[in-house]
């Protein structure tokens, strides 16, 4: 699967109207047709790039951005390399979290608290 088909499939998988609208607005631009073949570029990456750009304009809990500016950011995401845009590669070397070990540690903490404090807690049983 090449370029634009790969990206269109990603848009469908995300099932997000905003993402679909953004990509539909830029997918027919002639200057981007070859750029869509770059496997480094993804729809999720485009969305995160645009989201972070809008978030930088946030005042309080609100960020209002003109549609044309959003489309320009989406175009630039595909037009320039991640390095040129200042996008850092995510390292996927994180260790898997042992959930059962964490639960056991939490139970131990609760037991110790109960032993130290004989007072009954109304919410103590909810944590189990």
Q: Let me know whether 72 and 15 are in one domain.
A: yes
Distance CA 42, CA 50 (A): 12
pTM of the model: 0.67
Confidence of residue 120 (pLDDT cuts 50, 70, 90): low
- Asked whether residue 91 is domain-assigned, the answer is no
Percent of the chain with pLDDT over 70: 71
At residue 117, the pLDDT reads 59
Full residue range of the structural domain in which residue 50 is found: 3-85
Q: What angle is formed at CA 124 by the lines to CA 120 and CA 128, rounded to 5 degrees?
A: 145
- Asked whether residue 90 is domain-assigned, the answer is no
Q: Let me know whether 122 and 80 are in one domain.
A: no
Q: Let me know whether 34 and 15 are in one domain.
A: yes
Confidence of residue 89 (pLDDT cuts 50, 70, 90): confident
């Amino acid at each position: 699967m090449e370029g634009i088909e790969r990206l269109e499939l990603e848009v469908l998988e995300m099932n997000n109207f905003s993402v679909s609208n953004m990509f539909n607005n830029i997918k027919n631009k002639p200057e981007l047709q070859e750029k869509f073949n770059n496997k480094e570029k993804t729809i999720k990456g485009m969305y995160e790039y645009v989201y972070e750009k809008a978030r930088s304009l946030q005042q309080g809990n609100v960020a209002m951005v003109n549609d044309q500016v959003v489309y320009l950011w989406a175009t630039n995401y595909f037009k320039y390399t991640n390095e040129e845009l200042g996008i850092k590669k995510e390292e996927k070397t994180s260790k898997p979290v042992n959930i059962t070990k964490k639960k056991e540690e939490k139970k131990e903490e609760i037991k110790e608290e109960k032993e130290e404090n004989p007072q009954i807690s109304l919410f103590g049983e909810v944590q189990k």
